[in-house]
Amino acid sequence: MWSFNIFKNEKLKFVLNAGGALVLDEHFELMLDENVTGNEKRFILSASDPRFSKIQAVTISPLSGAKYTINGEEEEKITHLEDEDKFDVSAVTYQVRFSSKKAKTGFWLKTQKVKDASHVDLNGWMDPGKGFMYFCPEDQGAFSSPVVYFFDMDHTIIKPKSGGKFPENASDWIWWHKIVPERLHRLRTTGARIIFISNQKSMETDVTLKDEFQEKIRQIQDKLGFEFEVCVASGSGMFRKPSPGIFHFLKEYMKLDPKSCLMVGDAAGRPACKISGKKKDFSASDRNFAVNCGLDFRTPEEFFNSQVSKYKEADLKIKPNAARALKDNSIKFNKSSDLIHDILKRKKSLIIFTGYPGCGKSTFAKTLTRSFPEVAILCRDEIGSTQKCIKLCKEALHIGKSVVVDATNPDIASRQKYLEIAHELDLDSIISLFFDVEIDLAMHNCRYRAITGGAVIKDMILYSHRKKFEAPSRSEGFTDTISIPFEPKFESNFETQLYYSHLP
């Protein structure tokens, strides 16, 4: 678990543990629980929590018009501060420093109570994770029912009054159908729990959209006359539908214990309909979210207008889940892995990797580093350029080290430079290790990596790899070619569940 030290003029002022929050007054002094009144709160400092985020950051949220200065500019919006970042409040300088840089792996740990007043701002909103906003109703009765209705918002509950696809401002909405408020009221009367769940990625780049969205929710709640929970995926991480992150958050921290659960949404993967002229759904993220979380699913037409579903599963435009199609490859994986270990144990070798990004190359290279600290493992992404890799390869082989080249090396030309060096030195063990993974699985793996805090790899890079690809063969000058399948490894149940989900 990480924590943060907040320094005031170079003197330690606060210690903020992961997931914790401090309520501060206008002088940036801590407000203790008993004397906190709404009007005196000026700032909330909250620390990111490794259960939800791999980013180590402190968030400063100014309230009621409070301002602070960062990089000489006055600011009144929420900012994420990272290690060494400085900011000023009332002309006093504060700095954020990590007291521990090592993040605990596995971000879904034991159930803990996170719902305490310091997390929720005056308007009922909280930021429980990176790319996630949650509205917490004041009425505790809202949490008591095991009967839960999840609703997508846009084109399910409301639609733009202006008639376009996207709303123009906070007031640009009407009910999706006039029956919607009546049905919501009826659900509310039965005591059911109502949770809106909305993807709003554009908030990542345009912070004004957050205020607009919150204002719209206030208007909808005003019209309905009651509050309900709202989950907003405001970024591209694990909380974005269809990823099941929000469902896990509610289960772990917001007393969700669904005995009966239904998801209603318009992103259902429906094909275009020639008769009605209806366009195909822009995605299947609502339906896939339901699949990922094990919920029943209805489209708005089915739920509000009692239409009978006319779509067979086979008609739906849903991409198969490459991870779920993955077979148990452990025997073959271990066999190839043992072979490589044997080779490195026995003789000086050059091992050249080939494979898509996201096919397990660097993970495998790391296991080699642990077993063979004396071997030069050259990771192209860490070294920065292929030229540098080639230079380091030459140097290492010259001083008698074995070398492993961890790069995508899709074609003969990319591997030839390394082979030439090996041949110059008369090396008699030149191995190709091919990570045998189909593009769909590599794409899924890249998505999984990106939403769990890793690098973002665009699909284009994978397509370009596929285009260039030439299978490694002995005719290029390898003394042996070995292939290795993909074998996923997890550190927690949540990781396992997330991996086998449909991902955004």
Residues that bind Mg ion (CB under 5 A): 152, 154-155, 266
Element (H, E) at 479: none
Q: What single DSSP character describes residue 280? A: P
CB of 156 to Mg ion, least distance (A): 5
Q: How far is the CB of 267 from Mg ion (least distance, A)?
A: 5
271, 310 in Cβ contact below 8 A? no
Q: Which is nearer to Mg ion, 153 or 261 (CB)?
A: 153
Nearer to Mg ion, 152 or 487 (CB): 152
Which stretch of DSSP H or E encloses residue 12? strand 11-17
Please say which residue, 94 or 151, places its beta carbon nearer to Mg ion.
Answer: 151
Distance, CA of 58 to CA of 80 (rounded, Å): 6
- Scan for tokens 């700095």, then name that residue: 95
Q: How far is the CB of 174 from Mg ion (least distance, A)?
A: 15
Q: Which is nearer to Mg ion, 152 or 212 (CB)?
A: 152
Please tell me the distance from the alpha carbon of residue 45 to that of residue 23, in angstroms, as a whole number: 7
What is the smallest separation between the CB atom of 197 and Mg ion, expressed in angstroms? 10
Residue 55 DSSP one-character state: S
- Identify whether 62 is preceded by a cis peptide bond (ω within 30 of 0): no
Q: What letter would DSSP give residue 198? A: E
Nearer to Mg ion, 31 or 179 (CB): 179
Q: Which long-range contacts (CB under 8 A, 24 or more apart) does 219-227 make?
A: 219/170, 219/171, 219/173, 220/157, 220/158, 220/173, 223/181, 224/181, 224/184, 224/185, 224/188, 226/139, 226/188, 227/124, 227/135, 227/137, 227/138, 227/139, 227/142
Cβ proximity of 328 and 356 under 8 Å: no
Least separation in angstroms between residue 74's CB and Mg ion is: 37
The answer to whether residues 406 and 353 touch, using CB atoms and an 8 Å cutoff, is yes
Decide whether 156 or 408 has the Cβ nearer to Mg ion.
156
Q: Tell me which DSSP letter residue 118 carries.
A: G
Q: Least distance from C-beta 286 to Mg ion, angstroms?
A: 7
Shortest Cβ distance from residue 315 to Mg ion (Å)? 20
C-alpha span between 418 and 405 (Å, rounded): 9
Q: What are φ and ψ of residue 239, in 5° steps?
A: -95, -10
Both tokens assigned to 291: 């699949």
Q: How far is the CB of 123 from Mg ion (least distance, A)?
A: 24
Where do we find the tokens 């960062």? 70
Q: How far apart are CA 289 and CA 284, in angstroms?
A: 8
Provide the residue count of the chain.
504
Cα 52 to Cα 59: distance, rounded to the nearest angstrom: 14
Q: In the complex, what is the shortest distance from the CB of residue 269 to Mg ion, in angstroms, rounded to a whole number?
A: 12
Minimum CB distance to Mg ion smaller for 155 or for 417 = 155
Closer to Mg ion at the Cβ: 288 or 409? 288
Q: How far is the CB of 153 from Mg ion (least distance, A)?
A: 7
CB of 300 to Mg ion, least distance (A): 9
CB-nearer residue toward Mg ion: 46 or 200: 200
**385, 372 contact by CB (below 8 A):** no
Q: Which residue, 152 or 227, has its beta carbon nearer to Mg ion?
A: 152
Own/partner contacts of 377-384, CB < 8 Å, gap of 24 or more, are: 377/404, 377/406, 378/403, 378/404, 378/405, 378/406, 378/407, 379/406, 379/407, 380/405, 380/406, 380/407, 380/408, 381/407, 381/455
DSSP code per residue over 129-145: ETTEEEE--S-GGGG--
CB of 157: closest distance to Mg ion in angstroms? Answer: 9
In the complex with Mg ion, which residue's Cβ is closer, 121 or 154?
154
How far does CA 385 lie from the centroid of its chain?
28
Would you say 155 or 332 has its CB closer to Mg ion?
Answer: 155
